[in-house]
C-alpha cells in the first residue's frame, strides 16, 4: 500500500521513482521440467546470501507429477549444504543471517506456519553450534494464506512448495503465484 501511495504521489508531479518492494518471487515448474537443472537453480536462488535478497525464490508451484521428486531432491540438497562463516572457507555454501533480530524474525515466521499446519520437510531450526545467527535451510509444505510466511517478507533461507495440477497453457498456479 505504501508503494502505491508513493508512486501515485510521484506520478502527480511527474517525478521518476523506483521502488524496492520486495516480493515472494514464485517459481512454476511444469511436468516437463528438467528436475536436476531445476534443483540446481532452486538451491542457488533460494539460499544466496542466506535468502536475504529481494530476489530470492520463496514460493514454488510444482506440477503434481514431479512434486515428490522436486520436494525430496530439494530437501536432500538443503541437508547436504555446508554451513558456516569461516574466513577464507569458500566451501561453505550456506551463510548465516545478519542479526539476532533477523534470526528471531525468521524463527517467528516458521513457528507461526508450523502452528497453523505447515509441515517442515527439512530444516526449521536455529544452529547456534555453527554460528550465532545460523539457521538451517528450511523447506515447508502445506503453507496457506493465513500464515505469515505466505505473503509476508521473511528474508531468510527458506521456501515453501505447493503441488499443483496444471497444464502448459492454463492454470491457477500462475494467477496464485502473481496475485496472492
Please pick, among 10, 17, 20, 136, the residue that the annotation labels catalytic.
20
pLDDT at 47: 73
What structural domains and CATH numbers belong to the chain? Answer: 23-179 (3.40.309.10)
Question: How do residues 8-29 score in pLDDT, each as one tens digit?
Answer: 999 999 999 887 666 667 888 9
pTM of the predicted protein model: 0.77
Please pick, among 54, 79, 111, 178, the residue that the annotation labels catalytic.
54
Question: How do residues 142-177 score in pLDDT, each as one tens digit?
Answer: 988 898 888 777 766 666 777 776 655 555 555 555
Q: Tell me whether residue 93 is one of the annotated catalytic residues.
A: no
Q: Tell me whether residue 54 is one of the annotated catalytic residues.
A: yes
Question: How do residues 78-137 score in pLDDT, each as one tens digit?
Answer: 898 877 665 554 444 566 777 899 889 889 999 999 999 999 999 999 888 888 888 888
Ranges of beta strands (E only) in 100-157 are 119-122, 138-141
Q: Is 14 left (phi over 0), alpha (psi -120 to 50) or beta?
A: left
Amino acid at each position: 500500500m505504501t508503494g502505491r501511495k508513493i508512486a501515485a504521489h510521484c506520478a502527480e508531479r511527474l517525478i521518476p521513482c523506483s521502488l524496492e518492494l520486495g516480493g515472494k518471487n514464485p517459481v512454476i515448474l511444469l511436468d516437463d521440467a528438467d528436475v536436476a537443472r531445476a534443483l540446481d537453480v532452486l538451491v542457488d536462488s533460494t539460499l544466496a546470501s542466506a535468502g536475504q535478497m529481494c530476489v530470492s525464490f520463496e514460493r514454488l508451484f510444482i506440477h503434481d507429477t514431479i512434486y515428490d521428486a522436486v520436494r525430496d531432491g530439494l530437501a536432500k540438497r538443503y541437508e547436504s549444504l555446508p554451513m558456516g562463516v569461516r574466513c577464507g572457507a569458500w566451501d561453505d555454501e550456506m551463510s548465516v543471517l545478519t542479526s539476532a533480530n533477523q534470526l528471531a524474525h525468521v524463527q517467528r515466521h516458521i513457528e507461526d506456519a508450523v502452528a497453523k499446519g505447515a509441515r517442515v520437510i527439512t530444516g526449521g531450526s536455529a544452529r547456534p553450534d555453527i554460528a550465532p545467527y545460523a539457521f538451517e535451510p528450511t523447506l515447508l509444505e502445506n503453507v496457506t494464506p493465513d500464515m505469515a510466511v505466505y505473503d509476508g517478507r521473511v528474508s531468510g533461507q527458506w521456501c515453501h512448495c505447493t503441488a499443483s495440477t496444471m497444464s502448459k497453457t492454463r492454470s491457477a498456479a500462475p494467477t496464485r503465484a502473481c496475485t496472492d
